Amino acid sequence: MLASAGFFFCVWRLIFAAGTRTISIDPPIPRGDATMATAPKLINAFTTPFFEAHLENAGTLNDELRTLFIEREQQGDKYRNPYMTPGKVGLFESDFDLFRWTEQPVQKLRSFCMDTIGHVIASLNGYDRGELARLEIINHTWFHITRKGGYTTYHNHPMASWSGVYCVDPGDAADDSSDSGILRFLDPRGMGNMFLDAGNSRLQQPFRVASLNFRLTPGRFIVFPSYLFHEVAPYQGAGTRITVAINSWVRERSATPDGQAR
Ligand SMILES: [Fe+2]
């Protein structure tokens, strides 16, 4: 019994010492790879894919979309999302059927956006033409018109695989130090910065744990995994900030419709 108590006392002493003092007598000094016979192999895991596309010569199309969206906004509830979730302040959100509209500018945008998302899905999953032919991309799509002080708090998009944001009009140009209207993604590696010291505080990308910010420009289209939490920082411009948002998911073509196929 006494021997057993002594053993646990010693274990406790070791744990206590390790937890309260630096016990290494000869701490190693980082030497880089200059003295190493074989450099360790980097394994890059848990990568998060983002895609960026630009619609060429988007000026005329964006002008047409802006005119159309503001005209629809002025009709109030007719085109407003009746089930807008909390966390959206100072903005107009349309219903989710935007890509069902038959107006030519909307259909042009639909082609560009859904072709881009189709590329994302095909390339990352490695689908061949036969497999793609058996699939269809369903989407919910809407527009936002944001005015001075408007913002969207952090959220993600359950029940979708890929989401996207297309910029019709970023609003008034902000200087580079401002985060006005920034589209910000929160790093999903929640515990990745639980302990910071000189060993990890200067990690280079893609390993640094930090939010990822996009400053939108006309015609820029960002595609991202729908599970990522993101937000729009308060827009401080005097004009209108106009974006189109998309949620998409994929199913076999024979499935029962519950959304809009591309
Ligand atoms: Fe969103």
Structure tokens at 119: 């590329």
- Cα 12 to Cα 6, 25, 151: the distances in Å are 10, 21, 53
The whole-angstrom separation of Cα 6 and Cα 12 is 10
Helix axis angle for 59-73 and 104-125, nearest 10°, is 110
Phi, psi of 192 (to 5 degrees): -65, -20
Q: From the CA of 216, how far away is ligand 1's center (Å)?
A: 14
Classify 258 as helix, strand or coil. Answer: coil
Fold (CATH) for 48-188+200-241: Jelly Rolls (2.60.120)
Within a 10 A sphere around the Cβ of 11, how many other Cβ atoms?
10
Tell me the domain boundaries of the chain.
48-188+200-241
Q: From the CA of 121, how far away is ligand 1's center (Å)?
A: 19
The predicted structure's pLDDT at residue 29: 75
Q: From the CA of 230, how far away is ligand 1's center (Å)?
A: 6
The whole-angstrom separation of Cα 70 and Cα 82 is 18
The whole-angstrom separation of Cα 153 and Cα 90 is 12
Global model pTM greater than 0.75: yes
Q: From the CA of 169, how far away is ligand 1's center (Å)?
A: 17
Under 8 Å between Cβ of 157 and 141: no
Q: What is the pLDDT along the chain (262 residues), one digit of tens a residue?
A: 444 444 444 444 444 444 555 565 677 777 766 556 788 999 999 999 999 999 999 999 999 999 999 999 999 999 999 998 889 999 999 999 999 999 999 999 999 999 999 999 999 999 999 999 999 999 999 999 999 999 999 999 999 999 999 999 999 866 666 899 999 999 999 899 999 999 999 999 899 999 999 999 999 999 999 999 999 999 999 999 999 999 999 999 965 555 555 5
Q: From the CA of 203, how far away is ligand 1's center (Å)?
A: 28
Q: From the CA of 92, how far away is ligand 1's center (Å)?
A: 14
Under 8 Å between Cβ of 145 and 225: no
Eight-state DSSP code of residue 167: E
Q: From the CA of 19, how far away is ligand 1's center (Å)?
A: 43
Long-range contacts of 16-22 (CB under 8 A, 24+ apart): none
Q: From the CA of 162, how far away is ligand 1's center (Å)?
A: 11
Q: From the CA of 206, how far away is ligand 1's center (Å)?
A: 23
The whole-angstrom separation of Cα 244 and Cα 92 is 12
Element (H, E) at 129: helix 129-133
Q: From the CA of 25, how far away is ligand 1's center (Å)?
A: 52
The predicted structure's pLDDT at residue 173: 67
The predicted structure's pLDDT at residue 189: 93
The predicted structure's pLDDT at residue 12: 45
Q: From the CA of 258, how far away is ligand 1's center (Å)?
A: 20
Q: From the CA of 153, how far away is ligand 1's center (Å)?
A: 9
Q: From the CA of 234, how far away is ligand 1's center (Å)?
A: 15
Q: From the CA of 163, how far away is ligand 1's center (Å)?
A: 8
The whole-angstrom separation of Cα 151 and Cα 175 is 18
Q: From the CA of 88, how far away is ligand 1's center (Å)?
A: 10
The whole-angstrom separation of Cα 162 and Cα 223 is 7
Q: From the CA of 225, how far away is ligand 1's center (Å)?
A: 11
The whole-angstrom separation of Cα 164 and Cα 116 is 10
Under 8 Å between Cβ of 209 and 162: no
Q: From the CA of 164, how far away is ligand 1's center (Å)?
A: 8
The whole-angstrom separation of Cα 122 and Cα 118 is 6
Q: From the CA of 178, how far away is ligand 1's center (Å)?
A: 21
